[in-house]
Amino acid sequence: MHFELKSISAQSIPEALAKVERYRLLNEPHLAESICLDILAVVPDHQQALIALLLARTDQFQAHINAKTAQEVLAKIKGDYEREYYSGIIWERMGHARIHHGGHAAAYHALRSAMTHYESAAKLSPPGNDSAILRWNTCARAIMQNPNLRPSPDDQPTDPWERDQASSRIADA
């Protein structure tokens, strides 16, 4: 069945963004994602809506890892710091989802990739913004506190994104 979607007004975007945040806090990321798509239909390069869409998609990684959809949004986000930081978010959330699904070597590589992006973001961050450092520390603690998170000796991917997606038991559908 096909429906023609209704358009929201540009004036309603601030309220719609507040709803996105509310639905994410209520653990309803699919609803937040839908609202973001409505906002982006009106203002395709709305940075706050793009970031919220990326976060809503990564919020869904525990149920199913579909990192490609988050990566597609990342390509539209402006700013070197922002792209590095949100690349780290994608990798970190993928790592935590891998832990949840028992893929410890893949989780380790995802968290280490997140840490690399956070290191790059920290170098680009505006003064007083230590968000990338906080996220790096979270990844480091996850690895240090979980002895199962170790790379296997024969599993040293040169491009972890490609390797992780290709070898995953729960890869994108």
Going from N- to C-terminal start, the domains of the chain cover 1-60, 78-173
The model's pTM: 0.85
Give CA separation, 72 vs 12, 24, 49, 82, 105, in Å.
25, 20, 14, 14, 25
Please give the chain's pLDDT, 173 residues, in tens: 999 999 999 999 999 999 999 999 999 999 999 999 999 999 999 999 999 999 999 999 987 778 899 999 999 999 999 999 999 999 999 999 999 888 889 999 999 999 999 999 999 999 999 999 999 999 999 999 998 888 876 655 544 444 444 333 333 32
- The rounded distance, in Å, linking the Cα atoms of 130 and 81 is 12
Contact predicate 93/61, CB 8 Å: yes
Q: Kindly tell me the burial class for residue 153, based on how many C-beta atoms sit within 10 Å of its own C-beta (0-12, 13-18, 19 or more).
A: exposed
- The rounded distance, in Å, linking the Cα atoms of 75 and 89 is 14
